[in-house]
Amino acid sequence: MANCGRKACYFFIFIRIKWKPMSTTYNKDMGVGVIGAGKFGLALCNLLAEKHPVKLYSRRQEDVVRFEASRQLRDVTLHDNVTLEADLEHLCNTCEVLIPAIPSDNYPELVQAIQHVINPGHFVIHATKGFIQSNANPDTQSHRPFTVSEYFEQFTTVRRIGMIAGPNLSHEIHQGLPAGAVIGSRFNEVITIGKELFSSDRFQVFGSNDLLAIELAGILKNYIAIGAGITEGLKLGSNARSLYITRALAEIIYIANRLGVSSTSFLGLAGVGDLMTTCQSPLSRNFTVGYRIAKGENIESIIKDSIETIEGFKTLKLIHNEWRYTSRIPIAQVLHEILFDQKDPKSLVDVFMKATGENDVEFAL
């Protein structure tokens, strides 16, 4: 009987040690790790560096040489609080907060490289507006494309994950112009940390617990922006573009609803806010793609000229594969035909001019 008592005591001691609650904050002295040295990654670096030490990871050896010589990457001068890290594993071991800002296609390689290093004590706030198609696990063959947070949850032990999203053109952030974003996460501590890290006099940060909605809003607007660029290239005017954007918003909310997400978050910065910017600015890559297609260029030449990844291309392909048999996404369907089947860009006009429906704001009913 005494032995049973001792075993129970040891068991409860083990439980107390084993299940010690994780900290809801991070070690500020360790700095923040930004993964990805593209234009947006650099913009986030300089935002963060206004208040915190930042370690920036780039896999390009030429970036290391250039940074050491001039503290410049891609014509951007980096803040004095930014250091360049060429060892990804070291970055993960020395930073509790990781901010991946890389193309969606690069996540399988990234996660494979760090999955044995990162752990439940890390916080991840990604900045990628794209789906990940994975065949890495046989159990996921029938799974729809992953968002970044879903991919991390599937293939790593990290759970405190969030996303920063909104109307954030990197060029304007580099100029110091006012902007804002939303941190989406199911964990309040991730939102709190994100706000503390990014908020400044020139950058307003909000929070949302609907992470999937925030991710889908950022992803789905990519193909909508391509269509907006086509309306500009065809010189259809502001009225037509506003009509197009409104019908497109209803379409992407329909997709989100089918995936179990409410429309609420689509009416904030990650949805309408991002649409307003990316569907009207020549600084938007996806908008520029649509404009160039309307002017007669082909996809191959556009891809060849593009330095940064055009997420809208892949978004359209994946949506076409998943939803091609429904009549509720006519804009995605015709854009896929324009981009990949050489259909006349003017066919987009027929889609949004002949849209039917008794209610203007169908998705809110």
Evaluate if residue 136 carries a pLDDT over 90: no
Last residue within a domain, chosen from 146, 177, 209: 209
Note down the domain range covering 131. Answer: 29-209
User: Which tens digits make up the pLDDT trace of 111-133?
Assistant: 999 999 999 999 999 999 999 98
pLDDT band, very low/low/confident/very high, at 28 (cuts 50, 70, 90): confident
As a whole-number percent, the residues of the chain with pLDDT over 90 amount to: 74
Lay out the sheet containing 161-165: strands in order across. 82-85, 54-57, 32-35, 97-100, 123-126, 161-165, 179-185, 203-208
Q: How confident is the model at residue 262 (pLDDT cuts 50, 70, 90)?
A: confident
What confidence score (pLDDT) does residue 340 get? 93
- 333/317 Cα distance (integer angstroms): 10
Q: Would residue 5 count as lying in a domain?
A: no
Of the listed ranges 41-45, 78-82, 279-283, 323-327, the least confidently predicted one is: 323-327
Give the pLDDT mean for 216-233: 97
Same domain, 36 and 161: yes
Q: Which of 168, 193, 209 is the last residue of a domain?
A: 209
Average per-residue pLDDT for the chain: 89
The pLDDT of residue 17 is 37
pTM of the model: 0.89
* pLDDT at site 68: 92
Pair (161, 276) in one structural domain: no
pLDDT interval class at 3 (50, 70, 90): low
Tell me which of 174, 189, 209 is where a domain ends. Answer: 209
Judge whether residue 49 has pLDDT over 80: yes
* 194 has pLDDT over 60: yes
185 and 226 in a single domain? The answer is no
Specify the DSSP element, H or E, that contains 14: helix 2-18
Instruction: Please spell the DSSP secondary structure of 73-126, one letter per residue.
Output: ETTEEPPTTEEEE--HHHHHHH-SEEEE-S-GGGHHHHHHHHTTT--TT-EEEE
- Residues in Cβ contact with 284 at an 8 Å cutoff, skipping those fewer than 6 apart: 169, 225, 229, 277, 278
Is residue 17, in this structure, part of any structural domain at all?
Answer: no
In the chain, the percentage of residues whose pLDDT exceeds 70 is: 88
pLDDT in tens, 61-73: 999 999 999 999 9
Q: What is the pLDDT of residues 342-360, one digit of tens each?
A: 999 999 999 988 866 656 6
* pLDDT value for 362: 63
If asked whether residues 251 and 327 sit together in one domain, one would say yes
The secondary structure of 286-346, three-state, reads HHHHHHHHHCCCCHHHHHHHCCCCCHHHHHHHHHHHHHCCCCCCHHHHHHHHHHHCCCCCC
Does the pLDDT at position 20 exceed 60? Answer: no
Segment 299-314 shows an average pLDDT of 87
Q: How confident is the model at residue 363 (pLDDT cuts 50, 70, 90)?
A: low
Asked if 143 and 38 sit in the same domain, the reply is yes
In a domain, residue 2? The reply is no
Burial 266-293 (b: 16+ CB within 10 A, else e): bebbbbbbbbebbbbbeebbbbbbbbbb
Q: Is the pLDDT of residue 12 over 50?
A: no
- Six-digit token string for 180: 């804002």
Is the per-residue pLDDT at 324 higher than 80?
no
Q: Are residues 117 and 248 in the same domain?
A: no
> Do the strands 161-165 and 179-185 form a parallel or antiparallel pair, or are they unpaired?
antiparallel
* Three-class SS state of 179: strand
- pLDDT in the model for residue 328: 86
State in Å, rounded, how far the first CA of the chain is from the last one. 65
Active site residue 221: yes
How far apart, in whole angstroms, are the C-alpha atoms of residue 283 and residue 273? 15
Contacts of 282 (CB under 8 A, 6+ apart): 288, 291
CATH at 118: 3.40.50.720
Q: How high is the pLDDT of residue 135? A: 61
| Total of domains in the chain | 2
Domain assignment present for 300: yes
Distance CA 129, CA 101 (A): 9
Q: Are residues 144 and 33 in the same domain?
A: yes
Mean pLDDT for the stretch of residues 312-338: 89
Same domain, 226 and 335: yes
* Cα separations in angstroms, 269 against 181, 185, 206, 243, 274: 6, 15, 9, 20, 6
| Beta-carbon-side half-sphere exposure of residue 144 (alpha carbons within 13 Å) | 17
Are 220 and 148 within one domain? no
> What's the rounded Cα separation, in Å, for the pair 266 and 252?
9
Lowest mean pLDDT across 18-22, 62-66, 153-157, 185-189: 18-22
Candidate list 221, 304, 343, 354, residue with the active-site label: 221
* DSSP, res 281: -
pLDDT value of residue 326:
78
The answer to whether residues 261 and 198 belong to one domain is: no
Kindly indicate the confidence band of residue 282, based on its pLDDT and cuts at 50, 70 and 90. Answer: very high
Q: What is the pLDDT of residues 175-187, one digit of tens each?
A: 999 999 999 999 9
CA atoms within 13 A on the CB side of 112: 8
DSSP code, position 272: I
Residues 190 and 228 in one domain: no
Tokens 């922006």 sit at which residue? 225
